[in-house]
Structure 1
């Protein structure tokens, strides 16, 4: 047995304008090539253009509007938590591949956009396909960017291997390939950044495509909830937020840790009597200084 994956990105998709039938444009570009089990990947930018999410205005103001909170800052670069839950640079606001002076915001609801596109493609072609709405994102600890799924419909977005065993009999505990992101990355290889190919078709993973009428959990299910990420703040921002101790900043640090874990962290401080430092460490671990004093028998 062998496994084969095909990816192609057609030329000929015209400039997309607000109100355009994106599914109709896609069918015109792909032609009769679309088949059951294919996955159609489309960039968020053309989805946003079709949905009227392009505007003239200040990019920084748009970033502010789309941002839930700041995660990290390096000079002028802001990594933020977007209103969709995504953590990304500049809240996904883009000024490339668009008329000078204009900016493009992410779709209001990429999963809903994917569902609409999937339903329309089925109407036009009779093919049961999955749909992924893609966008470019950086990765912690690594240079460069890759495309990820920010919207999805009709596909399994993550394969859960927990509880299975590998060929050697070893149990798999937390193996969860984010296949929607992998499909997005594969599509970007065929699309390229400057070739004007915002659409790609991936063939060879029909096992991931759900039956008609079943859209699945969408790409939203891949977003960790606030407090569930080990890196809720950047390194510098975390120090400042912990020292400031604002109640609104508590959730990104995660759930309160057991007392012994907090005690171990406090033991690393050079001065255990430094109340400011102790309070900051307590805050970062989900505790208050007062609660720790009572727990420690000092209050």
Structure 2
């Protein structure tokens, strides 16, 4: 049976905090002893906070392209400048919407830059994604291995909108100790047919399940431990979930 354990006992994360220790303390406070088949799902926001990914908007000087897109999208041109700096290219710009391909390959609104729930003084600050979320997950898991002999897998999650559907859902942007993508092509279904295209976005599935516990607003639950999962394939990072640009059918 799959279980989702919310971990609210973390508190407000600040730049330079020992996030692995804070997460371990929250797991202990929940009365849980993790095992290797557990997945510790951690929201991107607290990872970025611990890594000091804040930018003071007053220090940002928008260029001509940012000012042009700000007029189209009706967004703060300083924010648009940050979005461009974090992005490979702009996918779509319309009033109130700016979709880009982040330098990590993820296609997302505002390059994942956030101004909500980032703590005191957040009004003129913005919070960027981790520089490399897979590397962040690996560092967290390595630090947790010093606390527990068998550390859980670590999944860094974020909220994405989806084309052609309302609402956001959680996805994996960083992972360590688990397969983010499970390739079932070549397996046989129950009728004896060979699976030809089936690949399972396991990281995204777990991220969304954990999102039921962490929430999207003022819940103050920045992490959850997911238990009861099984996999029998090699680990791969969350970057394995990113479809290569040459396979983009909607360019």
Give the shorter-chain TM-score range. Answer: 0.7 to 0.9
Q: Over residues 179-221 of structure 1, what are the superposed CA-to-partner deviations in whole Å (9 max), with x where a residue is unaligned? A: 00000000000111221111110001143696xxxxx331111
Instruction: From the two aligned structures, give the one with the greater strand fraction.
Output: 2
Larger Rg: 1
Helix, strand or coil for the counterpart of 1:52?
coil
Q: Over residues 131-181 of structure 1, what are the superposed CA-to-partner deviations in whole Å (9 max), with x where a residue is unaligned? A: 100111011121111010000011011121111121122221111110000
Please show how residues 1-299 of structure 1 align to structure 2 within 5 Å: 4-31=1-28, 33-36=32-35, 37-57=37-57, 58-98=78-118, 99-193=122-216, 194-207=218-231, 216-232=235-251
TM-score normalised by structure 2 residue count: 0.85
Helix, strand or coil for the counterpart of 2:246?
coil
Contact 1:154 1:209 in 2 (8 A): no
Paired residue total: 224
Q: Over residues 112-133 of structure 1, what are the superposed CA-to-partner deviations in whole Å (9 max), with x where a residue is unaligned? A: 0000001111111222311100
Contact 1:34 1:127 in 2 (8 A): no
Answer 1 or 2: higher relative contact order, Cα 8 Å, separation at least 6: 2
Runs of 4+ in structure 1 off by over 3 angstroms are none
Unpaired runs of 5+ residues, structure 1, are 211-215, 233-299
For the structure 1 residues 209 and 166, does the alpha-carbon distance in structure 2 shift closer, same or farther, using more than 3 Å as the test? closer
TM-score normalised by structure 1 residue count: 0.72
Instruction: From the two aligned structures, give the one with the greater helix fraction.
Output: 1
Helix, strand or coil for the counterpart of 1:168?
coil
TM superposition shift of 1:74 = 2.1
Contact 1:129 1:209 in 2 (8 A): no
Unpaired runs of 5+ residues, structure 2, are 58-77
